[in-house]
């Protein structure tokens, strides 16, 4: 996946999240290796989508990955404790 495809992929995730189409976000997230996503905010969106679709274990795993990218975020720590 080149940079342009990656950007388009992230934009689709963001659009789906803003439209509250969580199934769409989860389907996009299943297509890509989450280790390639560098933005903690996008990982939070993906985790929230998994949470809203009922896949709590995957939501927790994605949040742990997001916390590794940004360990100072109180929002991520709160969401992890909430899960």
Pull the structure tokens for residue 79: 């969401």
How confident is the model over 13-72, as pLDDT tens digits? 999 999 999 999 999 888 888 888 888 888 999 999 999 999 999 999 999 888 888 777
Indicate the pTM of the whole model.
Answer: 0.85
Query: Residue 70's pLDDT is what?
Result: 76
Asked if residue 26 lies in contact with residue 49, where contact means CB atoms within 8 angstroms, the answer is yes
Query: What local confidence, expressed as pLDDT, does residue 22 receive?
Result: 92
Taking phi over 0 as left and psi of -120 to 50 as alpha, with beta for the rest, 20 belongs to: left
Q: How far apart are CA 75 and CA 10, in angstroms?
A: 21
Instruction: Answer yes or no: are the C-beta atoms of 47 and 59 closer than 8 Å.
Output: yes
In this model, does residue 2 exceed pLDDT 80? Answer: no
pLDDT value of residue 31: 86
Closest CA to 38 of 10, 12, 13: 10
């Amino acid at each position: 996946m080149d940079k342009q495809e990656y950007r388009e992929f992230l934009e689709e995730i963001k659009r789906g999240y803003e439209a509250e189409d969580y199934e769409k976000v989860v389907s996009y997230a299943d297509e890509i290796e989450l280790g390639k996503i560098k933005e903690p905010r996008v990982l939070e969106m993906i985790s929230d989508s998994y949470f809203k679709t009922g896949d709590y274990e995957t939501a927790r795993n994605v949040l742990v990955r997001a916390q590794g990218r940004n360990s100072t975020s109180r929002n991520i720590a709160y969401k992890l404790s909430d899960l």
